[in-house]
Structure 1
Amino acid sequence: MTFTVTSDSFKDGDYLHQDHVLSADFNFGCAGGNRSPHLRWSGAPEGTKSFAVTCYDPDAPTGSGFWHWVMVNIPPSVGELALDAGNPKGGKLPSGALLTRTDYGTAAYGGPCPPKGDHPHRYIFTVHAVGVEKLDATADTSAAVIGFQLHFKALARATIMGLYKH
């Protein structure tokens, strides 16, 4: 069985709905709902002991891309994240899961908000099947450090990509 991820919020390669775009509260010039999209995955390899979810924009004009969402230590019994699960105050975070710091500086989902007039940016949502129960992380652990750990501890990855242009 192949490890795959799908979403009820968008299809692979489609534009993300305004509901998932960064809210005006962040003062980046966007006015979306800032709700993380629904994700569902299946086919994780044998030996999976937890999952991690990331959202990364490789097109951000930073020289290093931009991390929009990092959730780790998702129990292996979980195969789906509800709409807005990336909101730490929303009550939809799976028990035991941990949100860690994004490039917005917060441990929460932060939606797309590319520079106005820039080309469409790619938002790559990745579910990582992890071979350990817990990554060594706190809410303040950077996305780069999480990425380093996942490089060595992920057994498989499944991705779905959304687009957004401001």
Structure 2
Amino acid sequence: MVVSSVFKDKEFIPKKYTCEGQDVNPELVISNIPDGAKTIAIICDDPDAPIGTFVHWVLWNYPVNGPIVNIPEALPKVEKLQNGAMQGYNDFGKVGYNGPCPPKGHGVHHYHFKIYAVNSLIELKGKVTKKELEKALSGRILAQTEIVGLYERK
């Protein structure tokens, strides 16, 4: 299960977490993590983008240190975090999280924060994207969940 302190499932994401605000990731709290999970991976994408699914965040190897994992707000936009977690490249061509930024007047977009409980560390090198992470996750996912946020630029 995943919840956010700043938006509820299928509700609007505050402007702070978008390209019209501070463009920082929202806090996510993950619970009901299965035994045997060593790390958390996150993929956030927008299937409503005019060019097809647009990736906003790729993160993996976030350590599981108990029954609840708290992903804090505003993680640094670096490949390797202090706790060993790794961030890949989003479709803006940047490392880390870049928030909702749909074309003005394009209507409401849905941002899927997909959370994966993973049974091992994942070794990936280079300019890692969603595609490489999804391939590496194959056969290692113990559980998955998601929270969907909405955003529209008028």
Once the two structures are superposed, residues 41-89 of structure 1 have per-residue CA deviations (whole angstroms, 9 ceiling, x without a partner) of: 11111221111112111111123x011011111111160011112x326
Letter of the aligned partner of 2:40 in structure 1? F
Partner of 1:155, secondary structure, is: strand
Q: 1:130 aligns with which of 93, 108, 118?
A: 118
Instruction: Give the whole-Å Cα distance in 2 for the aligned partners of 1:40 and 1:121.
Output: 23
Alignment partner of 1:115 is 2:103: yes
Structural RMSD (CA): 1.5
Instruction: Give the whole-Å Cα distance in 1 for the aligned partners of 2:102 and 2:17.
Output: 13
Q: 1:58 aligns with which of 42, 47, 69?
A: 47
Letter of the aligned partner of 2:63 in structure 1? P
Partner of 1:32, secondary structure, is: coil
Tell me: CA distance 1:68–1:139, structure 2 relative to 1, closer, same or farther (3 Å). Answer: farther
TM-score, length of structure 2 as denominator length = 0.90
Q: Which runs of 4+ in 1 moved over 6 A?
A: none
TM-score, length of structure 1 as denominator length = 0.84
Instruction: Give the whole-Å Cα distance in 1 for the aligned partners of 2:100 and 2:42.
Output: 16
Percent of aligned positions that are identical: 34
Partner of 2:11: 14
Partner of 2:134: 147
**Gaps (5+ residues) in structure 1?**
23-30
Alignment partner of 1:101 is 2:98: no
**Gaps (5+ residues) in structure 2?**
none
Matched residue count: 149
Letter of the aligned partner of 1:152 in structure 2? G
Instruction: Give the whole-Å Cα distance in 2 for the aligned partners of 1:18 and 1:139.
Output: 32
Query: Does the 8 Å CA contact 1:70/1:102 hold for their aligned counterparts?
Result: yes
Instruction: Give the whole-Å Cα distance in 2 for the aligned partners of 1:141 and 1:112.
Output: 20
Letter of the aligned partner of 1:137 in structure 2? L
Alignment partner of 1:82 is 2:82: no
More strand by share: 2
